[in-house]
Structure 1
């Protein structure tokens, strides 16, 4: 595959050991707190905590923000793809990808027998044939990296590149045609979609290399069910999947199954429900996506971490209600404060609602 530009001219990295200001990773994930993390910090900065568990770490934005403020951060997410984001941003203190290493990731190794799983399985689903072939090559090159931090950095860049080239930044339906339809657009960015995967990948390699920082603490990332986490944490931040009043949950595994497949490349085929048009995964029984179980899960989590300061983010119009969550939190905490961030517009939502932050001490 012909390279569209000179990598050496593009690879300029600001290797900073300290930031002059707090950095926030760019992200296109649903539910990201990138636009709210400053306000969250303003409400928790005086709580007197040295360590924090980000129990549903997702994009890593909150955990990374706390890391930059000198906290010892423990990141967790049950999705393996998100776990690698946590490894890259939170656990990794000083490892970056070199120009030579990136060059190798973008080059086909003539001695390696590459599989064509994506090209064969996802034809005309999310990306073009050429893009699928590129993804097959790069993801197998990433998997061959021996250093977990370098692997995590490369996955981070690959995930972000995949997202920016997707209508709605999701994998919830087969809609490749939207990228090429000659219609008046009210969403998306055709220039971004038309930009090559390699260029996007390089952009995000530069970003993640730039974001690597050492706060002098031994931070850690986990890929566990939240109830399997053991340890003592001064503060636990809880930002679980949201369930609407209609009982519809944000199913991150469904939205981002393609990214999850990339980090499970060798067994990806066994994870796919072949009956689905968009080749998503088989559904699991995640209790956080069950309107009948989610309130009890909140309560169980409050009990598990009852000795920690508890900080909960949730929407004002969900199941359970803010009043129910607050009531359950008071079973374990003497002092509970509730802060509303009004008129917050969520991605792909037509309604304007409030983000609510609850703090139990």
Structure 2
């Protein structure tokens, strides 16, 4: 079992908060359209930070835990790319100006990290108290994988988001963006801007992703520290990664299929672990090393196959995938941006 001292936790949290503050400053104090070179530089920086942390962590705690970290990081990074898909859909649906996209993304990352901290604590507590939660988490991931595969060629319906609809009904919203403000005044009345609605959409999306991603990473490791750091370092580079890959996301036509396979694999791993602990030790368990190999292979094959497919048929377009079918029918007036 991994033991991390209070000092180790404190230093880790301070480093993550420092990087988060850096991202917040870049994304909010000087709003601007991010160009390709800037996106590449920041993406490389955050990936390098995550890798360096993993190597240092493994050299201190051992490569068994280091392998768990890198497997968890790969899982969360792959899920975060799917998260970016939805961010792109939200940005397009609400026509967010490029100068303000950084601010939206940065607050989205802060919310995502906050939700994950809550679910990490809750998940770790449940797993420690009830061993059958491994089976529950496993079945949840398998169900999600099946739904994601069934609706792999669809995109989430942002207009059908309950929180977005409720916000529009409860709060008067302006038709135009106003210099990156969340709230403004019309004839002395306080009103929200579309940017506020966008943050509601991003936040509710983050909540849904946290419900899937935390059980997924607990399928790779039971160590709370590793779950937290894998999530944190995977999320920190999302702002730069968004601007780097948003033009390439349409080419990842098999991403949803690959993620469905990964989630199903981890779900089976969790179910086997439960059976090994609660039923019989003779039940085979999937090792972390095998998990790392499977995840890496699936992501590689998914990426290569996607690029080959798009090259053969340029009309192919990727979709984020959804866990439920898109509702049919005309768009409602209160859902329009």
TM-score by length of 2: 0.30
Structure showing the higher strand proportion among its residues: 1
TM-score by length of 1: 0.28
Q: Of the two structures, which has the highest relative contact order with CA contacts closer than 8 Å and spacing of 6 or more?
A: 2
Structure showing the higher helix proportion among its residues: 2
